[in-house]
Chains A and B, each alone.
Chain A
């Protein structure tokens, strides 16, 4: 079924699209997302930690 989509370059049907979604390996999908998200979270955490240190010396009037 899925091969036919590739072979003909035709517009896939709703059923074929549905099947493709079912084919996605969610475990590995979310794992990939988590790796990227973690790196980003580390950067924000570093920025906040440094900002807390730097903020002590300013006075707002």
Chain B
């Protein structure tokens, strides 16, 4: 009759006893549980109390139960246990009034009463020790309730495959879709629906149980069915594209084996480069190894790389939600033995909101070519071979160093968010007011690709708030890929605002000393 709760000091014998009762008989892969518990022990979370909420009605498990577990001969319970975690001590006799602990809320983990893989919907605060080098880009606000009190946490959802309604691919799709629905206001998709969407077009035997997994094409079908625009890049097919990566990661080696290894390293860098723009935009990317799918949601950052030629050289690893390992698991871009690393990744599936028809890799190309061509312009007619690059250096000699090795970082942003950021930049004096106001009043599409142009000396600062850029290019996210979709350039003191409907018309301004300025921090 009454809602049942139990409170236990985290990691105490009572906690372990209570946890064992709901997590065992446990078969299958225990790694996600152990990862979650070890993350809760880290200094950044310092979990002190766990609140067990029994007979919890979990919408996702209800869906799995309805489509599969209710139809089996064995009787499965239809309710779950939800465990809430707090970073403060809560008196064990507390029965109501959890509200006063809301600032210490760390999130929750649902445990399903299934035979295998019990970790259900899990919403947990990320464990980050170094805010200057570690970024979980794909997080958004989730709420949970205990006796009517509202608890909020900024997180990326995690779930473990149950193997019956979903394998790793469905788990990855669920994580991506649940985040996107919360972040961008789409509807929520439940596990059985995701499985049905994946198998709607390509007959591969019975839909349930889902032990036989999904093909990448079925992942694309599911994403399209959920209203997301997704594309796929296979490792062996990226050799012709991403030329800028070939400068940063040239193929070297004397022997065929060395050259082959070097070529694989370049392909790894190209796949990482493609994925990075979406991750930086707060858009999860599905990474597939030869037999497993996981979701990339963040990255680490190295502010000590000298003369980087591509921004991916600054990214030592991605953070992933891997249903085999747990949430917020670091995946190095270079093989380091042990668990999965980026050289194991065979394909990248990137997703954008439907309204953004231009892909990030092409938006960045538009920005790079615009900057390159701008610097190569010869604006003094008739007699001069002076390029704009030389003239700008005469106006500002410090440009000389920065122009030597430009780095480009591209992300997609909602225009509303862009305008909010611009207003903050203006009020914080991060950008020259006149420039900021001209950019603020532009008519933007719903989403805009922004490419920041920077240089090693501007980015190599330990404090993320000190990292600067030399300018940025704003690209129309609905521009056809074989056009110049640039809406505005603010770079090296030049402001060019292009009329999207007439290529010959642009507002052109010179705002001396309006660059460099602070680059955008993700995860604001």
A and B: real partners? Answer: yes
The answer to whether A47 and B217 touch across the interface, beta carbons within 8 angstroms, is no
State the B residues within 8 Å of A (CB).
167-169, 211-217, 219-220, 231-234, 236-238, 240-241, 243, 288, 290-293, 346-347, 359, 361-362, 365-366, 369-370, 373-374, 377, 379-381, 383-384, 386, 388, 391, 394-395, 481-484, 486, 493-494, 496, 498, 503-506, 508-510, 512
The answer to whether B233 and A51 touch across the interface, beta carbons within 8 angstroms, is yes
Q: A43-B240, A59-B215 are in contact. List 11 more A-B contacts (CB 8 A).
A: A2-B384, A3-B384, A6-B380, A27-B503, A36-B369, A37-B481, A42-B482, A51-B232, A51-B234, A51-B237, A54-B237
The answer to whether A61 and B231 touch across the interface, beta carbons within 8 angstroms, is no
The answer to whether A60 and B168 touch across the interface, beta carbons within 8 angstroms, is yes
The answer to whether A33 and B369 touch across the interface, beta carbons within 8 angstroms, is yes
The answer to whether A12 and B394 touch across the interface, beta carbons within 8 angstroms, is yes
Interchain nearest-CB distance for B394 vs A (Å): 6
Q: Of residues 32 to 47 in A, which have CB atoms within 8 Å of B's CB atoms?
A: 32-34, 36-38, 40-47
Q: How many chain A residues touch B (Cβ–Cβ < 8 Å)?
A: 46
Contact of A38 among B234, B386, B482 (CB under 8 A): B482
Q: Tell me the dominant secondary structure on chain A's binding face.
A: helix
Q: How far is the CA of A21 from the CA of B216 in the complex (A)?
A: 49
Known: A2-B380, A30-B484. Is A22-B238 also a contact (CB below 8 A)?
no
Known: A6-B386, A44-B241. Is A54-B236 also a contact (CB below 8 A)?
yes
The answer to whether B394 and A59 touch across the interface, beta carbons within 8 angstroms, is no
Known: A22-B508, A61-B213. Is A47-B240 also a contact (CB below 8 A)?
yes
The answer to whether A55 and B347 touch across the interface, beta carbons within 8 angstroms, is yes
Q: How far is the CA of A60 from the CA of B322 in the complex (A)?
A: 13
Give the 5 A-B residue pairs with the shortest CB-CB distance, closest first: A55-B216, A20-B379, A51-B234, A61-B213, A21-B508
Contact of A26 among B240, B347, B361, B506 (CB under 8 A): B506
Q: How far is the CA of A36 from the CA of B367 in the complex (A)?
A: 11
